[in-house]
Structure 1
Amino acid sequence: METLRTGLMFIALVAFLTAFGFGVMSTTTSRWYVDERNTDTTLDEPRNIVNRGLWQWCDYDGVCFEIPDEEYLDAVRAFSILSLIIALVSLGLSLMAVNEDGTKLKLVAALFFFVTALFQLIAMGVYTKEIRDMASFDEQYWGYSFRLGWAAVFLYGASGLIFLVVATFLAGSPTKVRYGHVNRT
């Protein structure tokens, strides 16, 4: 049982660290949305826009321009950054929980994993909705930064689920959580 618990916690931590890396790359890179057709010179934005991130537009020549503040982008940026901050707290809790036999710290770590996933989910959902409303997707598509953001959501959630299973069903102490009740033996 101890080997199973240790193995699952290791898998959860690897998935979580991968999700964190994906979240950092997603938040900091400019390949959320790619447009291969924009050569209209009447637009206010720079010409020949190839890709767009949370912070800047980049054209075919690799020249990047800061994106003016837009409300939905501010929300996406805020929730992305908050998810990374909460992820760091989650990582600290999970590392402390690895060496503990009790369930409380593992449950708290799982809760923080889920909160991290929720914040990343909100950021991704807002961006998806806003771009879907604006774009035609004839010659446009989601970039790798966008895909990494969604992968982070699912990996954060999977990590939280694994920690929850370890805390509730594979608890190694006399305190076991069963059917919503804590039984002390």
Structure 2
Amino acid sequence: MNLGRVIRIVTAMGTALIAASAMAATPASASASNSPVAESSLLTRQARSDAELREQIALQLKIAPGGKQTSRNEVSYDNGKFVVTYALPGTLAITGAADCPSGWFCFYEDINFGYPRGKLSDCGTQYLGAYGWNNRTSSVHNSTDSTIFYTSLGGETLIRNYAGEAIAWVGANANDRAQYVNRQC
């Protein structure tokens, strides 16, 4: 490789780094919050304020219409059949502690049971995409007396979550791939 080409590559990399640094230094309130990247980031982290929590709830309802806000940090679908819970701002988000209520099975956006959390209790197969939860499962907790199967679009079983079992990380093969759940009742 000749010296001129190396200089052009290094210059291009430097320009990209400067642009990235400028973007990182931009306050969150000044950035475009409706960009896909900003929206994705908003859904996957704990809200830093009540205003940001309201944005999370609004975005959840935007990506999966038909839900109803049932508390400050929850959206419910199909009369409570599916519930999405976001961590409250200002509270210590404790990861590593599975907290799925009895009679429900829960799936978490992050490993070690990091919120947001989705939860279901019905038997049979359900499509997670109907609730904006496709490809968003990194840990699971089953507080039912049944086995839960998480599958891909093609029907591949990704996770078997046995009664009472908590899985802090579903593994590289299953991470963020589940599109269906099936509770065997």
TM-score of the two chains, using structure 2 as the length reference:
0.24
Higher relative contact order (CA 8 A, sep 6+): 1
TM-score of the two chains, using structure 1 as the length reference:
0.24
